[in-house]
Amino acid sequence: MYYPIILTILNIPSIVFEILPFIFLLGVMFFFISLFERDEIELLRSHGINNFKITSIISIVSLVLGIAIIIVYYSFSANLKSLYLNIKYQYSSTGDHLAVVNDDGLWIKENSKDGSKLYIINATNYKKNTLQNIIITELDKKYKLLNTIIASKGDITLKDWKLKEVKIYSEDRQTKNLSKYNYSSSFNGKIISNLYSNLNSLNIFQLIQLEKNYEAIGYSATEVKLHLNKIYSIPFYLTLTTIIGALLMFKLNFIKSKFFLVVVGVLVSVVFYYMNYFSILFGKNETFPILVSIWLPQVLIFLICGLGLTKLNEN
């Protein structure tokens, strides 16, 4: 009864992390609205604190907060996201199945459809829809060894795996050599590729380890590298959105409508979001190098900020 509420609460920190730039931008705009309404901007200027100094101070605060966020808050949100997925996993139809990647390659644990057998699968290499050096250990409910299936490689495009160059060692010590063998699994290439599609459930150290594990089994670590660089860029992104928010307020301080200012802030946030979204998309399909796909939008925003800061004290 309470699980939907618990799951929602566990998922909120991860959602908040994703919209932090939007929060910072609007937060800065409301901060300046408050300063203008109480004429505190003029008070600061009378004490020698000009527009540039005000912007510099809040930008440094944003940078420090951004660093604290990726060190402390991201780990906190990742742990809650992991707990969220674990609880959700327990109540899903695949709760009896498990797949992980570590230094020894890809490991899968799954039950047969009737639940009478357990399969432990290990493959040292994984490339798109293909496993290499596969060992399938078949056990009964009491964990008694029934068969060991060894294959040089297998096509896992479908859940009906097509194994090649197969040897089957049975419990009575008989050996069968087969050129082809079909194994029915709960996993296919698409499911395995999405094992860690929700990278928000892993903290930075786990992501670094996952990257090494992927590279060890020959699987593309592009998405993991993209996610890591996205995290690393957060302090700079928050600082830039803070500067943009300050620039907007200094340029639009003649507008008294809070609603209009919020709309402008939302529109700017949406533009920045899609700049990052499409750039990362190009990174995922490897049109752009990883570093370029993450940092190019930041560089463009930085140039906009630099142009605005040069004329900031003219307001």
pLDDT in tens, 145-198: 888 999 999 999 998 999 999 999 887 778 889 999 999 888 888 777 666 557
Residue 280: give the domain boundaries.
Answer: 3-88+217-310
Residue 297 lies in a domain: yes
Residue 238: C-alpha distances to residues 60, 226, 232 (Å): 10, 18, 11
Query: Percent of the chain scored above 90 by pLDDT?
Result: 39
Whether 106 is in a domain gets the answer yes
Are 229 and 84 members of one domain? yes
Low-confidence spans in the chain with pLDDT less than 70: 1, 89-99, 101-104, 193-197, 217-218, 313-315
| Longest alpha-carbon distance in the chain | 92
In a domain, 163, yes or no: yes
Sequence-ordered alpha helix ranges (H) in 19-98? 20-37, 40-46, 51-68, 74-90
Helices (H), strands (E): how many in the chain?
10, 7
Angle between helix axes 290-310 and 222-251 (nearest 10 degrees) is: 10
Q: How many domains does one find in the chain?
A: 2
| Residue 231 and residue 178 share a domain | no
Same domain, 70 and 111: no
Instruction: Please give the model's pTM, rounded to 2 decimal places.
Output: 0.76
Q: Is residue 46 part of a domain?
A: yes
| Whole-number Å distance between alpha carbons of 138 and 109 | 10
pLDDT, one tens digit per residue, over 182-196 is 998 888 887 776 665
Angstrom CA distances, 9 to 3, 5, 63, 202, 270, stand at 10, 6, 27, 18, 25
Residue 99, sorted as left (phi over 0), alpha (psi -120 to 50) or beta, turns out to be beta
